[in-house]
Structure 1
């Protein structure tokens, strides 16, 4: 991840800003352009799954081109793992960048700080904002401006095997981390299945941090907080889950083994996202018995509040686009309620507009299961351009803590030192 803007990049940003100002949203009189008069070709970079999701987006693009026949869309499906570096390279050089790009919410602050994406406040792209759920919309904001339009969203929740909990005599899924640990032990004792499988990835640590009043950093105070008392409490709880409640973690293949154990009934509870449900339902514990899969909020911490990170994607418009008007119009169309309904039905992803949760959409069990969690527990992640880079040192030290190679405080202090290399001017508490 880039730690700052180089002189060359800064020059590029100025140039992009200047070019963007010349093609905003009006004619020579300053009046907004009639959408029917907008023409040209725009390139759209999509990161949806090429096999299972892209056909839905391609069908919507045909609808857009039929509605606005003067605009053509050059659709390109870019692997999710490749798009960040590909877009940053193209945007920095000013060559080959798309007009509209599907952007992971975790990258919004970095792209905005670098000047690669255009603020959308007051443009046709950002329409009917009152219909958006507040949390997805907050992921698009940075330093008082809105740089994207929420397209699809997700969060983490507690997925559980209803039959295993019932067999263990547990009437309701755990509401706190202490209950989570206690229930996991009871499940193992009474059913033979493990209570949980701890995912050692740092993203999945966020519910523990948030629910204990901790975070990676405090941008307003310019302070690194990952090693403060609240974070120590969160990591101490994570270590207890690993040592007392979890199936033994294979750190080399944790995610795959976690999924296999849960869907086949060897594990009763997981902290997971909606993307896993299709795989979950293919296992012996749920196949043909979809109602056995339960959905609940992540447990609450010492502060009594359950919170989980918001994921998903926003549509963003390249600051240096030669056809901003068409880009705005395309973004508006693809994030409209009718489009989000089609996307939800075709891909099973969660809409960001409240009106898109129709009875047909919520007929999907995972959408129905996660929709209330978005409103109850989801929150935007810390808005820092370096946020994505912070997860790497946190993950490395988190694993050392779980394996007993570092104390909780020692591992978090080491993490804070690495954060300080990335967050220039930030102090360590």
Structure 2
């Protein structure tokens, strides 16, 4: 057991053990044998905590109805839970053994933490993971913990480079930059020929990862239990980010709501390029710069000095609560919701990015944005799969802002970040 494990976490595991045992005895076999061999006989009621945007609700209601039509003995209650509250709300319910849902839509960064506390049911060998080989390897890796699969990939995402084709044309630029050096040169050319600034950086640590990855750096070496965010490679990546933050390349990063500021500048035509994900496409189309959707260009993240490019994988998984008394029904629900047919529907209706290879049908890839991000996923990189990985970004954001503002050098800023992680969140890890 790691020293970072808290008393509350231990108590949560003990509480869940009793709850899960009670759930298993009340709900029967948790192997999924009945669901696999005689799915039509499975009955019961399940609650699903849906953490997606409520604007997406009608599409998921449509899928729930289709599932219940196929399995009339199973009733599903979709409960919309605010994303920013869901992680703690689920922990509280699971720890107490009261009020936890049968199924939850989790951020990929939550899966390891929930599983480490004993809150998630392993899904290997159950119908929930039917056709597992069809899942993209990156998203599937986010759903694993200690050689067990504790989630089914629902949607995925990564970062790419979005650009304004009309501004590029005015500057005489015929193709998007493939490296960060080309990115800087492109920004300077655009500024010189059009007066428009090249970009604006989002000062969140998550958005700095492509710079680190491009130089061969990373946040952690989980196998060796080392903090590597201040390695020479990571520092070099952060130096690249600092070059992109210069006034001749970028607008000054916003002191608050950096994501919103950069995205607003882009969709209003005040900058020519932005680093963002597929979730931003619909918002960009709503801006005056992209009333003509064809004006939005999307390409993969630029490469660093290593010649390689990579961006972090994000997204969400479906998971089953270990204390559920309706596991067979839950397995069938996950199988249905994560099927290629269901993923194709959500991709077309609410612009999600599928996690199954077979869901990238002609109807899905006819959308140039989805086709571009499908290609971007080929170089996407899984973030460290550890409990509480999302908590690392609280400190990361604080130190990254200081670096971009020039308050500290990349080396000193990342050294301070490493010490911060080591003293508070990663006490069992060594630095470097």
Give the TM-score band, short-chain normalised: over 0.9
Residue 185 of structure 1, CA deviation: 1.0
Counterpart in 2 of 1:347?
Answer: 350
Residue 78 (1) aligns with residue 81 (2): yes
Give 1:418's match in structure 2, choosing from 412, 417, 420. Answer: 420
Residue 154 (1) aligns with residue 141 (2): no
Residue 48 (1) aligns with residue 52 (2): yes
For the residues of structure 2 that align with 1:86 and 1:45, how far apart are their CA atoms? 11
Residue 409 of structure 1, CA deviation: 1.3
SS at match of 1:106: coil
1:142-177 CA-to-partner distances (Å, cap 9, x unmatched) read 221111111111110000111212222222211111
Residue 301 of structure 1, CA deviation: 1.0
Residue 186 (1) aligns with residue 174 (2): no
- Structure 1: give runs of 5+ residues left out of the alignment: none
- Pairwise CA RMSD: 1.8
For the residues of structure 2 that align with 1:31 and 1:69, how far apart are their CA atoms? 14
Residue 163 (1) aligns with residue 173 (2): no
Instruction: Tell me, yes or no, if the aligned pair for 2:35 and 2:127 is still in contact at 8 Å.
Output: no
For the residues of structure 2 that align with 1:89 and 1:25, how far apart are their CA atoms? 23
Cα distance change on mapping 1:31 and 1:161 into 2, 3 Å: closer
Instruction: Tell me, yes or no, if the aligned pair for 2:36 and 2:126 is still in contact at 8 Å.
Output: no
Give 1:94's match in structure 2, choosing from 92, 97, 116. Answer: 97
Instruction: Tell me, yes or no, if the aligned pair for 1:26 and 1:33 is still in contact at 8 Å.
Output: no
Residue 108 of structure 1, CA deviation: 1.2
Q: Kindly report which structure 2 residues correspond to 1:349-364, keeping only aligned pairs within 5 A, or say none.
A: 349-364=352-367
Q: Kindly report which structure 2 residues correspond to 1:378-417, keeping only aligned pairs within 5 A, or say none.
A: 378-417=380-419
Cα distance change on mapping 1:207 and 1:20 into 2, 3 Å: farther
Instruction: Tell me, yes or no, if the aligned pair for 2:35 and 2:332 is still in contact at 8 Å.
Output: no
Report the more deviating stretch, 358-367 or 229-238: 358-367
The normalised TM-score by structure 1 is 0.95
Instruction: Tell me, yes or no, if the aligned pair for 2:199 and 2:272 is still in contact at 8 Å.
Output: yes
1:341-396 CA-to-partner distances (Å, cap 9, x unmatched) read 11112211111111111222223332122111112x21211111121111111110
Instruction: Tell me, yes or no, if the aligned pair for 2:24 and 2:323 is still in contact at 8 Å.
Output: no
Report the more deviating stretch, 354-363 or 93-102: 354-363
SS at match of 1:294: strand
Counterpart in 1 of 2:323?
Answer: 320
Give 2:277's match in structure 1, choosing from 259, 266, 273. Answer: 273
For the residues of structure 1 that align with 2:240 and 2:168, how far apart are their CA atoms? 22
Report the more deviating stretch, 17-26 or 330-339: 17-26
For the residues of structure 2 that align with 1:326 and 1:215, how far apart are their CA atoms? 40
For the residues of structure 2 that align with 1:227 and 1:67, how far apart are their CA atoms? 53
For the residues of structure 2 that align with 1:360 and 1:396, how far apart are their CA atoms? 42
Residue 19 of structure 1, CA deviation: 4.1
Counterpart in 1 of 2:234?
Answer: 231
Counterpart in 2 of 1:254?
Answer: 258
For the residues of structure 2 that align with 1:33 and 1:16, how far apart are their CA atoms? 27
Counterpart in 2 of 1:301?
Answer: 304
Residue 415 of structure 1, CA deviation: 0.5
Q: What is the total number of aligned residue pairs between the two structures?
A: 424
1:74-129 CA-to-partner distances (Å, cap 9, x unmatched) read 11011111111111111111110000000111111111111111111111111101
Instruction: Tell me, yes or no, if the aligned pair for 1:25 and 1:32 is still in contact at 8 Å.
Output: no
Instruction: Tell me, yes or no, if the aligned pair for 2:34 and 2:42 is still in contact at 8 Å.
Output: no
Residue 217 (1) aligns with residue 220 (2): yes
The normalised TM-score by structure 2 is 0.94
Cα distance change on mapping 1:31 and 1:47 into 2, 3 Å: closer
For the residues of structure 1 that align with 2:146 and 2:225, how far apart are their CA atoms? 14
Report the more deviating stretch, 10-19 or 179-188: 10-19
Instruction: Tell me, yes or no, if the aligned pair for 2:312 and 2:383 is still in contact at 8 Å.
Output: yes
Cα distance change on mapping 1:411 and 1:70 into 2, 3 Å: same
Counterpart in 2 of 1:63?
Answer: 66
Residue 131 (1) aligns with residue 134 (2): yes
- Structure 2: give runs of 5+ residues left out of the alignment: none
SS at match of 1:351: coil
